[in-house]
């Protein structure tokens, strides 16, 4: 099990809290679609609340390249975020990622550095501009009446499928018993 896998397991087991070098840090788990494969990739990231959105920082520990999660978000802005809650459970939610640009990015970066000077160390280790990404939670619940309508339609469809399956089973039973086909047309 790799380092990130250990952090992810500890995060999920302890309501978003981890020990070691990240003890006390505000962390989320980001699950992005791989930009080449489309497969889900989960990674821990430090965050800061900013109103209704969360800000994450692509420091990659000061490495010369952007973190993979950031490159994945550039290819597809849809992300699943997992965050610890006051209820003792990790809460997942869908979000839209927006890389910040210009003065807004610079302002949020400076705020983060003033709150956690370790981010200045990351910037000193690399020549790249460290990305700041806003995560905007998405409300996927929609209109409750729409959900009820979809549920009724699915139930009706499944009732029809059950009737069809019942008829097929009866045909097989008859065939196994050596009875002639019923001649019933199949839907």
78 and 154 share one domain = no
12 and 99 share one domain = yes
119 and 181 share one domain = no
Q: Is the pTM of this model over 0.75?
A: no
- Looking at residue 145, its pLDDT comes to 67
**151: pLDDT strictly greater than 80:** no
Q: 112, 137, 162: which is the final residue of a domain? A: 137
Q: 56-105, pLDDT tens digit by residue?
A: 999 999 999 999 999 999 999 999 999 999 888 899 999 999 999 999 99
- Looking at residue 111, its pLDDT comes to 98
63 and 132 share one domain = yes
The SS3 of residue 33 is strand
Q: 97, 115, 137: which is the final residue of a domain? A: 137
158 and 70 share one domain = no
Domain that holds residue 18: 3-137
Contact 97, 75 (CB under 8 A): no
What is the tally of structural domains in the chain? 2
Contact 142, 150 (CB under 8 A): no
Instruction: Tell me how crowded residue 115 is: count the other CB atoms within 10 A of its CB.
Output: 11
User: In sequence order, what E strands does 59-172 have?
Assistant: 78-84, 90-99, 132-137
Give the span between the Cα atoms of 55 and 49, in whole angstroms. Answer: 6
Three-class SS string for 52-81?
CEEEEECCHHHCCCCCHHHHHHHHCCEEEE
63 and 14 share one domain = yes
113 and 67 share one domain = yes
pLDDT confidence band for 180 (50 / 70 / 90): confident
28 and 118 share one domain = yes
Query: Which residue has better confidence, 73 or 182?
Result: 73
């Amino acid at each position: 099990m790799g380092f990130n896998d250990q952090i992810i397991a500890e995060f999920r087991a302890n309501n978003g809290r981890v020990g070691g070098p990240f003890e006390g840090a505000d962390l989320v788990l980001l699950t992005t679609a791989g930009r080449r494969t489309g497969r889900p990739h989960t990674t821990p990231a430090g965050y800061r609340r900013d109103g209704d959105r969360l800000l994450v920082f692509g420091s990659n520990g000061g490495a010369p390249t952007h973190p993979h999660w950031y490159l994945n978000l550039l290819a597809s802005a849809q992300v699943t975020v997992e965050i610890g809650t006051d209820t003792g459970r990790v809460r997942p939610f869908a979000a839209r990622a927006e890389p910040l640009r210009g003065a807004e990015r610079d302002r949020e970066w400076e705020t983060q550095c003033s709150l956690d000077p370790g981010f200045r160390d990351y910037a000193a280790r690399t020549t790249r501009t460290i990305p700041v990404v806003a995560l905007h939670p998405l409300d996927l619940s929609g209109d409750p009446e729409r959900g009820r309508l979809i549920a009724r339609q699915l139930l009706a469809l499944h009732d029809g499928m059950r009737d069809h399956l019942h008829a097929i089973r009866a045909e097989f039973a008859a065939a196994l018993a050596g009875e002639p086909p019923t001649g019933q047309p199949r839907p």
